[in-house]
Structure 1
Amino acid sequence: MFRNLQKALAIYGGGNTGTEEPPIRDKSDLVEYLRHLVAVTVAYLAERKIDAAAIKQARGLEKVALLADAVEALIETDEAKREYLAKARAASRVYKAILPDPASSEFSPDVVLISVLAERIRSMMPKPDIKAIMQDVEDLLDRSVAPIPYETPDDPEVIDISQIDFDKLREKFDTGKKRTEAERLRALLNQKLTAMVARNPTRADFLERFQNLIDSYNSGSHNIEAFFKALVKLAEDLSEEEQKAVREGLSEEEKAVFDILTKPEPELSDKERDQVKAVCRDLLQALKDEKLVIDWTKKETARGAVRQAIEVILDGGLPDAYDETVFNTKCDTLYRHVFDAYQGGGESIYAAA
């Protein structure tokens, strides 16, 4: 689809496509192509028992409910979700290409519906770059070209994983749109895990566990109920993980250093664990005060000074449980973490958070 779409847009715009095909001299061919894309997409909706005409005619809460039902049907699997978003993106791009031609009015109701559904699906997905996500529909969703209103009220529930009422979450799943609720929780966990692993690399096993859940669901090994249950359990475990820093009496960045120095080895007594905590605090303070200068990662001498400080402070403060092999491994891992997490001059992923 996209190869044909890019070719059509390039030819229409007068670009050199490197083909033998003659250029399109007016918008008629592009209009016909849009008619084809819209028909294919509406048929795709119908195959999933989504009545596009009924949604366009509905008003108020009825429209909101029909849109929610449609989204639920379109996110049955990751493959189905990707397929619909690809169709919607193609229709949107060609529609924008023919604007402001009067012929566009023929397609406005369908294209707006198609794109609103896509927008709602994207709103539940991870948002590493919201500007890129919205670029495809920002022009199209100018409601001035839409002959019918599409109400999209803001969801008042902004879930903070540390304050999730898991019983209420399960109840909402049982009584609502199951795939929609699972998709929202999945997106939340994706964002949360990305941030948590960036701040503490020892949490990578949670990210692996999350990906395994998604792979199992997409392969059909889990139904939607089992998938949601597993996501909730992961959310509970992440909430518990976040509380560990508080119980240990450490800040988030101190906890990251502490975990690197203690996981998966060596075995430590309570007294030795307290000794390691003190080393974490001393090391971070020394690095911030003296070594993490602006652009330190770009300067060989500054990088060497940071690495040396790590080795010297750890060597002078860690308990005897750290043999030479373990010590060297910890120094390597800790240096990589500092390199990734601290930009210098007071800038770090912790300051950003």
Structure 2
Amino acid sequence: MNLMEKIEERLAAMVARNPTRVDLYERYQEIVQEYNKDKDAAEIQKVMDDLFAFNDDCSEEEKRYLREGLDSETELAVFDLLQKDSLTKGDREAIKKVAKDLLGKLADQRFALERLRSMATVQAQMKAEIIKHLYAHLPASAYDPDEINIKAGAVFAHIYSAGLGGGTPVYH
């Protein structure tokens, strides 16, 4: 049970930092359901092995930003939100730069997260900056305007919720 509690805490933090990791949460829930289903020694050992393997997978996922050549999990989250299946290797590299540059722009003081929740004008400015940046810098051949608007909304929603959700903000 201690392992399960530690994994749940770790997983909650990982999903808060990057919402595209929801598949890890779903996989964890499947393992827990298997544990709750049978209680014989062999099945419990299999579930424990699955939990340890899952914990190792979480460690690998937490290091993925380094493998992708990014500077932080924050950049990885934005990169993941901007991705889609049909991208070329060159498009993926361009999107990494878009994610880095966008986060640099949003770090500007006028988008201070403590003002984001209370001031609709700050929210509108941030949304507009995200849309403007994505229209200007995402590979035009890979995204149509509707996709850009959807991606911009997802990035804003993530920054808003991760930066302001309860507990320690992901974005400072």
TM-score (norm 1): 0.44
Shift of 1:324: 2.8
Indicate if the aligned counterparts of 2:116 and 2:122 stay in contact, CA closer than 8 A.
yes
* Residue 245, structure 1, aligned to residue 60, structure 2: no
Partner residue in 2 for 1:289: 108
Report 1:40-51 matches (<5 A): none
CA distance in structure 1 between the aligned counterparts of 2:45 and 2:110, rounded to whole angstroms: 51
* Partner of residue 269, structure 1: 88
Cα displacement (A) at 1:267: 2.0
Q: Which has the larger radius of gyration?
A: 1
Q: For residues 249 and 349 of structure 1, what CA distance do their matches in structure 2 show?
A: 20
Over aligned residues, Cα RMSD in angstroms?
A: 1.8
Q: Is the 8 A contact 1:197 1:203 kept in 2?
A: yes
CA contact (8 A) 1:292 1:342 kept: no
What 5-or-longer segments of structure 2 have no aligned partner?
none
Residue 31 of structure 2 corresponds to which residue in structure 1? 213
* Cα shift at 1:247: 1.3
- How many equivalent residue pairs? 164
Amino acid paired to 2:48: F
Classify the secondary structure of the residue corresponding to 1:336: helix
Distance 1:273 1:221 in 2: 45
Cα pair distance change 1:254/1:290, threshold 3 Å: same
* Equivalent residue number for residue 224 of structure 1: 44
Report how far residue 290 of structure 1 moved: 4.3
Q: Judge conservation of contact 1:266–1:321 (CA < 8 Å) in 2.
A: no
Q: 1:348 to 1:285 in 2, by over 3 A?
A: farther
For the residues of structure 1 that align with 2:147 and 2:58, how far apart are their CA atoms?
A: 28
Task: Report the Cα distance in structure 2 between the residues aligned to 1:292 and 1:348, rounded to whole angstroms.
Answer: 15
How high is the TM-score relative to the length of structure 2? Answer: 0.87
Structure 1 segments unaligned to the other structure (5+ residues): 1-182
| 1:268 alignment partner, SS class | coil
Pick aligned residue for 2:131 from 296, 300, 311: 311
Alpha-carbon deviation of 1:216? 2.3
What percentage of residue pairs aligned between the two structures are identical? 35
Separation (CA, whole Å) in 2 of partners of 1:300 and 1:192: 33
Write the mapping of 1:1-353 to structure 2, written as runs, cut at 5 A.
183-220=1-38, 223-250=43-70, 251-262=72-83, 265-293=84-112, 294-319=114-139, 320-343=141-164, 348-351=169-172
Which structure has more helix as a fraction of its residues? 2
**Quick one: which amino acid aligns to residue 304 of structure 1?**
A
- State the structure with bigger RCO (CA 8 A, min sep 6), 1 or 2: 2
